[in-house]
Amino acid sequence: MKQQTLLIIAIALTAFVMLAVEGVIISNQGAQAKSSAPAQAQTVQNQDVQPAPQVNQDLLKQISGREAQYQALIDQANAQLMQAQKDEKTLQDQLTTLKSANSQLAAQAAAQAAAQPAVLTPQQASQVAANYMHQKDLYAVESVSYYGSTAYKVTFSSGAIVFVSTYGQIMAALAAPSVAASSGGRGGGGGGSYQEHEGGGHDD
């Protein structure tokens, strides 16, 4: 009985010692965990917050120089655009002036053409000569040079000849030769009659 009591007491002491040792171990582990937590948090914080790297001054100068070049190119392009717009306006003004001048010249040419008499056709010249001579026996009409001017020579079957200008004026009228003038004995007289008529017609 006494031995059993001693055995129970020994077992109880052993369990108590083990529990005490286990409590000490657990306490040490908790203290170590608490002490290491701030250090880890500080390490993480130090890793997250890093000082910003310093920018190279040469790189900043290059960037500034390129920006200045770009700005200069933009200014040059704007100046060229403004000059092109001015040139375009100048060309438009010149074109308007030329159109106005051409319109005036065309109007003047039309007025001059309307003021000038119309050029007769050969048929019209024949009609003018027939009305002047009161004859209808037309034989031929041709364009000739009469004293340096272009004229129509209208010949009748009777032998009469009328020179009509291209604008309808009678330049000369030659009567038909008479029967006596056409005979061989009076050929010279007939020639004189021809010259007389021609001269009188030219004076008209």
- For the chain, list the domains and their CATH numbers: 122-203 (3.10.450)
CA distance 161 to 176: 7
pLDDT in tens, the chain (204 residues): 656 666 677 677 677 767 676 666 776 666 666 666 555 555 555 555 555 556 678 888 888 888 888 898 899 999 999 999 999 999 999 999 999 888 888 888 777 766 666 788 999 999 999 999 998 898 999 999 999 989 999 999 999 999 999 988 999 999 888 755 555 544 444 333 333 334 334 434
Tokens encoding 161: 């000849």
Residues 6 or more apart whose Cβ sits within 8 Å of residue 161: 153, 154, 155, 172, 173, 174
